[in-house]
Amino acid sequence: MERIYLDHAATTPLDNEILQKMLPYLTDCFGNADSPHAHGRKAMGAVDNARDTLAELLGAKPSEVYFTSGGTESDNWALVGGAYAMKEQGRDHVIVSAIEHHAVLAAAEKLQKEGFAVSYLPVNGQGRVETKALEELISARTGIVAVMTVNNETGAVQPIRALAEIAHKAGALFFTDAVQAAPHMPLRVQELGVDMLSVSSHKFYGPKGCGALYIKSGVKVKPLIVGGEQERGLRGGTTNVAATVGMAAAYRKTVATVSQTSQKMQTLRKAFLDGLAGLDGLHIYGDEGVSAVLSMRIEGVTGVDLVYKLDLNGVSISAGAACASASVKPSHVLMAMGLTEIEARECVRVSFGKDNTEADVKKAAALIKEIAETLRKN
Ligand SMILES: *Cc1c(COP(=O)(O)O)cnc(C)c1O
């Protein structure tokens, strides 16, 4: 029996077309991109092309795109590196939304331990940050504000442009974690009005362990990884040539097919929800967000039990975000939206991908109904 994978917000499979584009850089073309000989120049040519592609697709300059080891590193770097640089201007206050990925939240906690003041932006019942909440928290002491473009548990889309404007008026930097937005919507840094933006390759069918950070020219950010002159001296370490090639090709394909994908995701979501019709005590969260990601709760059914039983039946979904699902902590995102701890423990996340079919999601929905009813009887 073929398994059904409905956890694309955790990671996506590497697209075979992308793998083929990467292979030469894992074999014959193995040079270190910084070496001043033919092997190195060939590798650097590929890295330059990847940077140009990403820049073009994001509406940025190639010199504003920095390669990293993934979303987590990009998020850490943006928040911590940005906060350190702003502290030199006497600004030691950091604002992050309460629904950020742990890559941002843990970075904020690290800053707090180092003496920064940290404030958390609340969200409404739909999981959206409201602009007035930022207006209330921001001050002349604020150095950086971070709000993600799309939440990875609910799919809720945040009003980035308006939030960035408020931050800029107060003289603060604005960073957005666009890791979960990149697979689902075009991103143009000018239109968003952000100073920094992060993406991660494995969320859009590229290789794992590769990401990028856009840093607007003129914005000062301290490096976190030192020891090499790579990435204009701001991020040391030998460049992962194959991964950058793969990420750029995967992002190009994502952007080229984005409206098609979004239509397919709407169809899958509808088929899935239709399949769940009639299930008692069902709640869907983040209904206005991207169609591919949804958090749902079935009253009286613990999320981890449902995930476990579905797994035994060949379906992969997650209880909250992937990083949180191995632990017993209820989702901080759903609790920020006003759910109680018990309610948050009843939540699971389902996220669709381009290889899913309507038959897949209908089958998963039928299984969920069946399992939920049995679990509830026990
Ligand atoms: C997956 C994810 C990350 C982390 O990216 P990695 O490349 O896995 O380190 C950060 N933010 C969001 C919103 C994510 O979904």
Ligand 1 atom, smallest distance to 11 CA = 1
Hey, what are 74's tokens? Answer: 């990009």
- Nearest-CA residue for atom 10 of ligand 1: 71
Ligand 1 atom, smallest distance to 211 CA = 7
Kindly report the pTM of this predicted structure. Answer: 0.97
DSSP character string of 279-343:
-TTEEEE-TTS-TTEEEEEETT--HHHHHHHHHHTTEE-BSSSHHHHTS-PPPHHHHHTT--HHH
The pLDDT, as a whole number, for residue 125 is 93
Q: Is 148 close to ligand 1, i.e. is its CB under 6 Å away?
A: yes
pLDDT digits (tens, 9 = 90+) for 315-362: 999 986 555 555 668 899 999 999 999 999 999 999 999 999 999 999
Q: Is 72 close to ligand 1, i.e. is its CB under 6 Å away?
A: yes
> What is the C-alpha separation between 347 and 72, in angstroms, rounded?
24
Ligand 1 atom, smallest distance to 322 CA = 1
Mean pLDDT of 39-57: 98
Per the annotation, the verdict on 323 as an active-site residue is yes
107 contact partners, CB below 8 Å, separation of at least 6: 75, 76, 79, 80
Using the mean position of ligand 1's atoms as its centre, give its distance from the Cα of residue 306 in Å. Answer: 24
End-to-end CA distance of the chain: 28
The pLDDT, as a whole number, for residue 327 is 60
